[in-house]
Amino acid sequence: MLTKQQIRFCLDEMGNMFPDAHCELNHSNPFELVIAVSLSAQCTDALVNKVTKNLFQKYKTPDDYLAVPLEELQQDIRSIGLYRNKAKNIQKLCRMLIDVYDRQVPRDLDELIKLPGVGRKTANVVRSVAFGIPAIAVDTHVERVSKRLGFCRYKDSVLEVEKTLMKKVPKEEWSRTHHRMIFFGRYHCKAQNPQCGICPFLDLCREGKKRMKKRAAAENGNHHAGAKGLG
């Protein structure tokens, strides 16, 4: 696990690498953000943005989503994975916003989680991005980066990762750290082929060191094989 100083170094360095890290889902209000984040489960932000471009022109309010048959909404988001289930949840969520929340997206974590299709991750994104409330949303990138770098343990659950990061990262930095970790995981420390060779954290990173050793061994092996072939 990282020391306090190492954590500070990681946070500052990610800030240098991705000073403009932000939510990449296009939206113009909290309601659109809830819909966009719900759609983004197991799907890229780029694909969601492609779909919401037309979706958000057609549907402006919770009432609009309920004014069409479910099948029509499914067709509108058809290119997104799990679209049938997501369409169902969106209509249920809109019904609840109308019936319980006076058409306003709630700010409270416990209230947000009551909305169909909204888990802790979605709720934390909405709180952080739409309402400016300090929050850390643990998606696949944040989880991977936290575990690889040693902010957290490999066996930690998503909730444990969230709680550990909340303890180790200063509260006023939660939201920007969450975005920077996502950018770092999405563009640098990828699931496949992370860029260990040019990573500022290589000295701290257990996984990076292991990968570089393996790579060196493989290259050595190839080198010997090549040399034999020349003989």
Catalytic annotation, residues: 121, 139
The answer to whether 153 touches 147, Cβ cutoff 8 Å, is yes
CB atoms within 10 A of CB 208: 20
Count of residues making up the chain: 231
Tokens of 24: 């990449």
The answer to whether 111 touches 97, Cβ cutoff 8 Å, is no
Residue 44 to residue 139: CA distance in whole angstroms: 12
Q: What is the 3-state secondary structure (H, E, C) of 144-203?
A: HHHHHHCCCCCCCCHHHHHHHHHHHCCHHHHHHHHHHHHHHHHHCCCCCCCCHHHCCCCC
Residue 141 to residue 184: CA distance in whole angstroms: 8
* Euclidean distance between the first and the last CA atom of the chain, given in angstroms as a whole number: 48
Residue with tokens 């750290």: 177
